[in-house]
Amino acid sequence: MPQEALHLENIRKTYVNGELQVPVLKGVDMHIDRGEFVCIMGSSGAGKSTMLNILGLLDKPTSGSYRLDGQDVAQLSDKDLTTLRNIRIGFVFQSFNLFPHLTVQENIEVPMLYSEVPRAKRHRISKMLAEKVKLSHRLDHRPTQLSGGECQRVAIARSLVNNPTFILADEPTGNLDEKTGTEILGVFHELHDVGTTIIMVTHNPGYEGICDRVIWLRNGRVWKIIDNIAGKTTEFETE
């Protein structure tokens, strides 16, 4: 039986600016099992960025329930959210977010520093992950000495250090040329093949066929779910 990675129920997010209320997410339901590769898509203004922030525990919903590994996180304190975010979620960003003054190995080890992992163990894990993303020959290089694709590989390796529940990738190929972007997607597929749960937020409809499922957002609601494994598409009413 599949093991739940996360479950969202009736998630709503409304931003308040003075007397003006701006609803962005208007009751989103979402369920993702461990081992799935899911893409979240939508045009500008659909609610992708807000959904990304909520999934990544960077923002709290106005209402609704968010279960991560069976734990309802909606009511946790900011301190507890920070701890949970560092342990359970691996982030991969469009802009890589590497520290330019650190080496590849040191960049990979950053999350383990926050988790107070002993130095010898940090070195062992970072070397293993660098090898997994085919960068073991670049451990002593700094980001300015790497290509864009290599920088993203470092970011992917860094996202895996705490064995997270899922990787949350925000437009991970957005700053890369088509060939390099395809190589990075290949890395994600290799990780997915060994059981890594991946959630990729993207605006690129060309990626519809690469994921197990595609969840389309429109006007703050789930509009369409494409199940590439079962070969079916389900559409929902939106405003």
Q: What is the pTM of this model?
A: 0.93
Q: Is residue 9 part of a domain?
A: yes
Q: Which two tokens stand for residue 47?
A: 């609610």
- Read off the pLDDT of residues 54-109 as tens digits, 9 standing for 90 and up: 999 999 999 999 999 999 997 788 889 988 998 899 999 988 999 999 999 999 99
Whether the CA torsion 189, 4, 32, 83 is positive or negative: it is negative
Look at residue 239 in the predicted model and tell me its pLDDT: 64
Look at residue 103 in the predicted model and tell me its pLDDT: 97
Look at residue 116 in the predicted model and tell me its pLDDT: 84
Look at residue 142 in the predicted model and tell me its pLDDT: 96
Strands (E), 35-152: 37-41, 63-68, 71-72, 89-92
Look at residue 92 in the predicted model and tell me its pLDDT: 94
Which residue ranges in the chain fall short of pLDDT 70? 238-239
Q: Is residue 230 part of a domain?
A: yes
Q: Which two tokens stand for residue 201?
A: 């937020």
Number of domains the chain is built from = 1
- Residue 194: CB partners within 8 Å, gap ≥ 6? none
Q: Is residue 184 part of a domain?
A: yes
Look at residue 167 in the predicted model and tell me its pLDDT: 96
Look at residue 201 in the predicted model and tell me its pLDDT: 94
Look at residue 17 in the predicted model and tell me its pLDDT: 85
Look at residue 114 in the predicted model and tell me its pLDDT: 81
Print the domain residue range for 203: 4-97+163-235
Look at residue 47 in the predicted model and tell me its pLDDT: 92
Q: Is residue 85 part of a domain?
A: yes
Give me the CATH number covering residue 25. Answer: 3.40.50.300
Measured at the CA of 92, the angle between CA 51 and CA 55, to 5 degrees, comes to 25
Task: Please answer whether residues 197 and 166 qualify as being in contact, where contact means their C-beta atoms are separated by less than 8 angstroms.
Answer: yes
Look at residue 135 in the predicted model and tell me its pLDDT: 94
Q: Is residue 23 part of a domain?
A: yes
Q: Measure the CA–CA gap between 162 and 41, rounded to whole angstroms.
A: 27
Q: Is residue 140 part of a domain?
A: no
Q: Is residue 225 part of a domain?
A: yes
Q: Is residue 228 part of a domain?
A: yes
